[in-house]
Every structure is written in structure tokens, then in C-alpha cells.
């Protein structure tokens, strides 16, 4: 039997009785990053939410971080997830941890594998250990579809073998295992989400790179082009995380959280070209550490069945949203 503290029981009651966004006290790591900043923007829509944000502002958007300083809902801490003191001073009174801090770019991990491991794996272990000591009720850990590597069968479900091909993907796979071990060994209520090729406002992936290039009149540089991806809008990823928090059967589980459709990199360039006239395209070689399969699709079946997850953003809707966001800057 897993021990449940009084504070955890109170958090469970809060989770069961919320009807829209969850009115809780959140700790978000990586709040200046792509996922963190979007999660914060959405969570702030509920004025009852209290949010503590930790970021070292080295790789994230420091301007966004600074803008939050005047927001009464937000408490900012400039620090490092690898520093136990930085993490522990953020945890008193926290109901939910959204551990979004990570080095997420595959090419960067290829050039800097040791740093990527240190931040992504050791940082996650530090977060888990601090949460264990401070009796935190729930932890959401965002992993990646890249932990699967090249597909062995389709669609790729949660039981698919994990054969990561980049240092980044290895760190996500390792951190997943730590999250599960802390659930089994210490009863820490972790849930792991394998997000699939995220894009959206302030994104860093290929869709965002292509859109920025097109709007600036630069050619789209396609590395390979035939490789398929199941792209996921960050707003859908957020809804997937919320559904996990509402559903206690998600504790100790792993879920794919993906968009409704898959498309090749070449196909993405074509969609963007229809939205932004005059786009030029250059083809270059495939990048190191990439999943290159031309047949690929991530299954949402488990999340749909157990959580009621259903993505709202198809590719065209999502790409138009990102274009509008970039034009507004």
C-alpha cells in the first residue's frame, strides 16, 4: 500500500473537484523555455493558480522570464535544477511539479552529450529526490517520442521498444526510468508523457524554424525531407498533462501525447508554402542523430481510452496559429 500524507489527500480532493483548470500551487521548472512558457501562459488564465517558476535563463527566453516578474500569480526563482538548494526552496506548499526544464535540441546534444546528460538526467534525479523529501503530491515528467528510435511497427504505442539514437533521446529514456523507479520504490506519484515533436509559440523545432525563415524571406533548409513525424501543438500537450492530473489512474503510467496526424518534413514545407507565398526551399543532407524513417505514426490510443485525450490542433490549424503568433511579435 502506498502511503498518502494529509497534504497529498488534500491535493487529491482539489484535483477531483476542479471543473476547468486546476486551482493548485504549481512548481514549473524551465519556465523560460518553450514548453514552460506556454504552460504558464495557459495556467495564468485561472487567477486562482499559484505558480513558482525555476529557470537558469541560459537557454530559455530571458525576456519572457523578466516579463513575469510583475505578475502577482508568479514567483520567480533564478536557479538550476541540478542545485539541490535551488530546488528545495521552491517546494514548500507545492501540490504539483511540472518538470519541463531540459536541453531539448538534438543537434546540441550531439555536440554536447555530457552537458545534456548532466542537465537532463542528473537534474531530473535531483528534482525527484527533492520531491521525495518534501512530500510533493504529483509530478508530471515530459519525455519524448524520440526514445523509441526507428519504428519497429506502426503505429508506435507505449509498448514499442525504446532504441534512442541521439544523446538527447537517451537522456529522456533514462529520466523516464528514474521517474518510474521513484514511483515503485518510494511511492512518488509520477506520470511520464511522451510528447511527439512539439511545435507552437516560441517553439524550437522544424515547424517553427521553417515559419520564421519563410516570414523573413529566407529559404527553408530541408534536411532529408522524407522522414515522417507526428507533430503535436503545445496546447494539446498542455491539455494532455491536465488530463493526467485529473485522472489518478495515470499515476505510474506512461502515455503518448501526440497530434492527430503525421507528415513528412517535405510535406510540412508544402503546407507552410501555401500559407506564406514565395517560399524558397533548399535541400541539404540529413542531420546526425535523426530518426529517418519515411513511415511513422505515434498512437494516442492509450491516452484517448484512459484519459479522454483528443488533440484539437491538426497541422493546418496549428501552423496557422504559429504564423499568426510570429507575425504578432
CB 52 within 8 A of CB 28: yes
The dihedral through the CA atoms of 122, 140, 40, 315 has a sign that is positive
Q: Which grid cell sits at 32?
A: 523560460
CB 296 within 8 A of CB 154: yes
CB 256 within 8 A of CB 303: yes
Nearest of 134, 126, 132 to residue 93 by alpha carbon = 134
Residue 15 neighbours by CB under 8 Å, 6+ apart: 22, 24, 138, 245, 246, 248
| 155 class by beta-carbon count within 10 Å (0-12 exposed, 13-18 middle, 19+ buried) | middle
CA-to-CA distance for 207 and 272, rounded, in angstroms? 8
Q: Which residues are catalytic?
A: 168
Specify the 3-state DSSP secondary structure of 140: strand
Amino acid at each position: 500500500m502506498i502511503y498518502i500524507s494529509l497534504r497529498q489527500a488534500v491535493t487529491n480532493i482539489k484535483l477531483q473537484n476542479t471543473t476547468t483548470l486546476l486551482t493548485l500551487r504549481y512548481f514549473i521548472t524551465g519556465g523560460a523555455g518553450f514548453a514552460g512558457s506556454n504552460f504558464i501562459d495557459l495556467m495564468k488564465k485561472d487567477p486562482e493558480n499559484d505558480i513558482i517558476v525555476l529557470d537558469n535563463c541560459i537557454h530559455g527566453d530571458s525576456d519572457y522570464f523578466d516579463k513575469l516578474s510583475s505578475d502577482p500569480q508568479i514567483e520567480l526563482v533564478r536557479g538550476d535544477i541540478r542545485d539541490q538548494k535551488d530546488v528545495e526552496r521552491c517546494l514548500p506548499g507545492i501540490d504539483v511539479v511540472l518538470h519541463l526544464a531540459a536541453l531539448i535540441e538534438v543537434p546540441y546534444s550531439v555536440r554536447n552529450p555530457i552537458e545534456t546528460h548532466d542537465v537532463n538526467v542528473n537534474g531530473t534525479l535531483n528534482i525527484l529526490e527533492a520531491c521525495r523529501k518534501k512530500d510533493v503530491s504529483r509530478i508530471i515528467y515530459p519525455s519524448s517520442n524520440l526514445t523509441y528510435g526507428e519504428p519497429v511497427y506502426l503505429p508506435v504505442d507505449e509498448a514499442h521498444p525504446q532504441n534512442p539514437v541521439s544523446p538527447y533521446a537517451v537522456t529522456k529514456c533514462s529520466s523516464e526510468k528514474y521517474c518510474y523507479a521513484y514511483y515503485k520504490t518510494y511511492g512518488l506519484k509520477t506520470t511520464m508523457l511522451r510528447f511527439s515533436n512539439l511545435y507552437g509559440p516560441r517553439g524550437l523545432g522544424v515547424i517553427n524554424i521553417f515559419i520564421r525563415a519563410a516570414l523573413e524571406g529566407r529559404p527553408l533548409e530541408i534536411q532529408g525531407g522524407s522522414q515522417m513525424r507526428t507533430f503535436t501543438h503545445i496546447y494539446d500537450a498542455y491539455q494532455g498533462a491536465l488530463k493526467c492530473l485529473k485522472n489518478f489512474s495515470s499515476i505510474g503510467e506512461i502515455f503518448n501525447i501526440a497530434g492527430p496526424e503525421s507528415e513528412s518534413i517535405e510535406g510540412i514545407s508544402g503546407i507552410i508554402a501555401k500559407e506564406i507565398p514565395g517560399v524558397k526551399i533548399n535541400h541539404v543532407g540529413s542531420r546526425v542523430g535523426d530518426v529517418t524513417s519515411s513511415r511513422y505514426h505515434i498512437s494516442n490510443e492509450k491516452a484517448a481510452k484512459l484519459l479522454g485525450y483528443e488533440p484539437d490542433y491538426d497541422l493546418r490549424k496549428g501552423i496557422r496559429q504559429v504564423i499568426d503568433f510570429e507575425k504578432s511579435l
